[in-house]
Chain A
Amino acid sequence: MAISALPPFNGFFSEWLCFQSLFSGANLGGSLGLTFLLSAGFLAFTSALAAACFVKAFGVSFLARTRSHEAEHAKEAGPAMLSGMGILALLTLVFGVFAGSISGLLAKTSLGLSSLAGSELESVFNFNNLQTPQNFSAVSAPAVFSGLLLAIGVVAAVIYFITRKNKVTANRTWDCGHDIRQGMEITATGFARSIIVIFRGLLKPTKQTSIEYHDDEMRYFPKRQSIDVGRDDVYQHFFYIPLKRVSYWLSEMAKKIQNGNVNLYILYIFATLIILLLITVR
């Protein structure tokens, strides 16, 4: 949740500060302001896509029924490993709630860096609130955290009181009358496929189907069918392969110059000599 920049964790507050600096840059106007503005747009899209990515990653790995044999026999790790992870997770929450004080501390360290010497850090940290100059915006981390906790707590208490006489039973997931089978859950490939299709200009997805029929001549009843979905590597496709093609082409051109004929080499030396004489002697 912290990576996806969701409140009240630390990722949200660092992204908030990032947005503030981009917004203040967008006020500059002209092409510079437009660049800041577009970067803010990309940041918004990135955080939303990151949230989608982590729903997929967490959901496919941990939720619902197992999706592979190894996962069926997985056991919980020992207390040492759990506490290591647990402390880090708790720190994301702590850094998030006390974002104001921690940003103040970080600002003091950045004062010593020479590369940031010309620009002053513009934010003002006021007790535990984050605030930007000229009162452009402010957010209070502890208020967010306590507000959320209070709201959820009150809701849980009220609902428990209202519905304490209701029963809760456990049963199978609704399966439209068929038996629940392992293939019914969504997989990570399926989850992300919509996004890949939307951005197919950039991501270049590939799909390969192969079908084996019972009767090869009639081709009515398939015996086995397989679909391979894949994704072309973006950097290879757009950057490295064109670069390779250009350098091959240049080498081919260079090859024509050196074709092994001695007369041609003497001609090169003679022509260079004449051109140099014409240029330098005026």
Chain B
Amino acid sequence: MTLAFIWTIQIILVLGLSPLLIGIIKKIKARLQSRQGINLLQPYRDLWKLLHKDEVISTDASWIFKFSPYLIFGLTIFLAINLPVFARLNFPYVGDFLLVAYVLALGTFFLALAGLDIGSAFGGFGSSREMTLASLAEGGLIFSFLVLAIAAKSTNIYAIAGFVSQASVFYLLPIILAAISFVMCLLAENSRYPFDNPSTHLELTMVHEAMILEYSGKRLALIEWAAYNKLFIFAALAAGLFLPFGLSFGAGIFGMLIYLAIFSLKILFIGVLVAVLESTLAKFRFFRLPDLLFTAFILNILAIVLIISL
């Protein structure tokens, strides 16, 4: 099984399944609110419609506005290669978690710049809020990886996944704490409740949506798809790092198919978890969010203290 073949499959998985994941989450949220909800394939139709629409670009925009969607979408494709889907892979030069965290930060950087580029009031404060939340969530994200990295003695995601699948039960408490804070950072970075409302139409409550308010047509399709991909990538990381079951079914075609099925179940579980969390929590006031993010960071430090003394 060559490397290129595996990478192609991972890219197709991420690009193809992420709108479905978003559709599932929206459907579950709607059902919990006693609504019918959208069709599961509706996000695909939305992306198709946006790709075939004309665009209107503001006269104030510069090359950053025009270039950012391509960059952000390309980054999610690059990250798709780093996912621990097939953990038998032992290519040690891609898959470092610091790289993953900072490539995500690169995407946020350009999105915030694009929000500033158009010179509207909404884009400005959207960028301000997004950079504030990202700067606080970065520490929590890196440290939840670090908990597992110190336990597994490697920062390669594939090695960490392999370690967690055979860890003794005495690592359970640090892994639980790291998982709780990773879920908090997942909600923060993907603009979900309680950090942001992904389906709001009130500009004063937007963080992520405010920055992309001015985009239209194919660029909006790219940015929306990149946001779906980002949630899928985070879910895949959580599935691979914290729920590492079913990794050892052999390298044949049959084993691969079984592993893909188990992987889809894990992603579905995380999607359901996100939907339930979103339906039960309210969106917090903006200045209560740093408390949440600091909590995530300190839970990680607690987990590392426990691991070092094991």
A–B contact, 8 Å CB criterion (strictly below): yes
> Interface digits, B78-112 against A, CB 8 Å rule (1 contact, 0 not)?
10010000000000111010110011011011001
Q: Which A-chain residue is minimally distant from B159 (CB atoms)?
A: A135
Report the minimal beta-carbon distance from B279 to chain A, rounded to whole angstroms. Answer: 27
Nearest CB in chain B to that of A149: its residue:
B74
Q: Does A103 contact B (CB under 8 A)?
A: no
* Total A-B pairs, Cβ < 8 A: 231
Residues of A near B139 (CB, < 8 A) are 41, 44-45, 48
Q: Closest B-chain residue to A30, C-beta based?
A: B308
Q: B23-31, B114-122, B192-200, B267-275: which one contacts chain A?
A: B114-122
Contacts of A33 in B (CB 8 A): 308
Bound-complex Cα distance A175 to B119 (A): 10
Interface membership of A95, Cβ < 8 A: no
B127 in contact with A152 (CB, 8 Å)? no
Among the 9-residue stretches A60-68, A73-81, A84-92, A257-265, the one with 4 or more Cβ atoms under 8 Å from chain B is A60-68
Note all chain B residues with C-beta closer than 8 A to A155.
70, 73-74, 77, 222
Known pairs A52-B135, A184-B120; A173 contacts B58 (CB<8 A): yes
A140 & B153 in contact (Cβ 8 Å cutoff): no
CB distance from A41 to the nearest CB of B (A): 6
Flag whether A198 is at the interface (Cβ < 8 A).
yes
**Contact (Cβ within 8 A) B124 A173:** no
Contact across chains for B93 and A129 when beta carbons are under 8 A apart: yes
Q: How far is the CA of A184 from the CA of B155 in the complex (A)?
A: 45
> Does any Cβ of A come within 8 Å of B301's Cβ?
yes
CB-based contact B117/A64 at 8 Å = yes
Q: How far is the CB of B242 from chain A (nearest CB, A)?
A: 20
Q: Which residues of A contact B297 (CB under 8 A)?
A: 41
Please tell me if the beta carbons of A55 and B118 are within 8 angstroms of each other in the complex. Answer: no
- B74, B125, B218: which has the most chain A beta carbons within 10 Å? B74
Q: Is A99's CB within 8 Å of the partner chain B?
A: no
Identify B55's interface contact among A34, A139, A166, A194, CB under 8 A.
A166
Cβ contact of A139, chosen from B64, B75, B93, cutoff 8 A: B93
Contact A191-B156, Cβ < 8 Å, known A148-B74, A173-B58: no
Q: How far is the CA of A252 from the CA of B132 in the complex (A)?
A: 46
What's the Cα separation between A23 and B57 when bound, in Å? 46
- B142, B286, B305 pick with most chain A CB within 10 angstroms: B142
Contact B118 A173 (CB under 8 A): yes
Residues 36 to 75 of chain A near chain B (Cβ within 8 Å): 37-38, 40-41, 44-45, 47-49, 51-52, 55-56, 58-60, 62-65
Closest CB-CB distance, B98 to chain A, in whole Å?
6
Contact between B134 and A175, CB atoms less than 8 A apart: no
Flag if B124 contacts A186 (CB, 8 Å). yes
Near A by CB (< 8 A), chain B positions 248-268 give none
Asked if A167 CB lies within 8 Å of chain B CBs, one says: yes
Report A76 CB to chain B, min CB distance, Å. 13
A275 to chain B, nearest CB (A): 53
The closest CB in chain A to the CB of B308 belongs to A29
Q: Are B109 and A51 in contact (CB under 8 A)?
A: yes
Contact call A137/B155, Cβ cutoff below 8 A: yes
Interface status of A151 (Cβ within 8 A of chain B): yes
At the interface, yes or no: A162 with Cβ under 8 Å from chain B? yes
Bitwise, A212-247 to B at CB < 8 A (1) or not (0) is 000000000000000000000000000000000000
Digitize B295-310: 1 where CB-to-A-CB distance is under 8 Å, 0 elsewhere: 0010001001100110
Give the distance to chain B from A190, nearest Cβ to Cβ, in Å. 7
Any B CB within 8 A of the CB of A169: yes
In the complex, A247 Cα to B108 Cα: how many Å? 49
- State whether the Cβ of A270 lies closer than 8 Å to any Cβ in chain B: no
Given contacts A136-B155, A166-B217, A171-B56, contact A198 B113 (CB under 8 A): no
Contact residues of B with A, CB < 8 Å?
51-60, 62, 64, 70-71, 73-75, 77-78, 81, 92-94, 96, 98-99, 102-103, 105-106, 108-109, 112-113, 116-121, 123-125, 127-129, 131-132, 134-136, 138-139, 142-143, 146, 149-150, 153-156, 213-214, 217-218, 222, 286-287, 290, 297, 301, 304-305, 308-309
A-to-B contact residues, CB < 8 Å: 1, 4-7, 12, 16, 19, 23, 26-27, 29, 33-34, 37-38, 40-41, 44-45, 47-49, 51-52, 55-56, 58-60, 62-65, 129, 131, 134-140, 143-144, 147-148, 151-156, 159, 162-163, 166-175, 180, 184-186, 190-195, 197-198
